[in-house]
Structure 1
Amino acid sequence: MIKEQISQAILVSGESGAGKTESTKMLMQYLAFMGGRNNNTGERSVEQKVLESNPVLEAFGNAKTVRNNNSSRFGKFVEIQFDGRGRISGAAIRTYLLERSRVCQVSDPERNYHCFYMLCAAPPEKDIKKVKHV
């Protein structure tokens, strides 16, 4: 990318359960490492923010399926911008929901999106009030 001075793209594809999401995480970690910079300000870097967004996206777009307990039910386009010296300067993540039907109807033994179960598993109201006062 730096040598040729042109944009590069990586396409990760494969069958269900092939490891696309895990491969993408590893690619992002590698790019964040290679395009990282020292951050002595104590603030989270752009690289950290990009990597930290993954669990949130997974909660809202992954579900248990017959083939996989943590299957991505969405497509994801990740654009990572670099400056002239090869350091990450920004990022944009676009998600494309592939299975709207999962919100209304789920086939046994599959489950809905993880986020619904996380919301249902929230602590009782009295426990939340205890934490607020600490």
Structure 2
Amino acid sequence: MQEIYNNRESSWLIGDSGYPLQPFLMTPFQNPPEGSPQQRFNHAHIKARNCVERCIGVLKMRFRCLLRERSLRYPPHFVSNLIKACAILHNLCVKEGVPLLNEDIHDHPDLMDVPHPPGNEPGELAMRGLQVRNTIVEHYYQ
């Protein structure tokens, strides 16, 4: 994503507050005032993130090979193809009525989000991230 940002393309990842704010990685505001544009941004951010996290949780329940891997053993291109294959196979399973295991995702810590290390100290990218996030709020959440 940083390379895409460096090529002046506007695309963003969304991450929880455990990630450092970057111009290509939008994180929520910490404790925004009630009813503020920042709180409206956070609400939209959370809705988008929850959708993705539910999808990942379902894939992990169906394909246990996605569990327990906290480090990248394969090149990113291979991993993205593996996840795409799991998504395609999941959709086929849904179409054919193959049920998921009857277990609650919260009963399995490995299915939940991995805690992230604290963000980097403020630097040029973090400052640019603040500018980008504030511009998004000004344009869409006022």
TM over 0.5: no
* Bigger helix fraction: 2
Instruction: Identify the structure with the greater strand proportion.
Output: 1
TM-score by length of 2: 0.29
The structure whose RCO (Cα within 8 Å, separation 6+) is larger is: 2
- Say which one has the larger Rg: 1
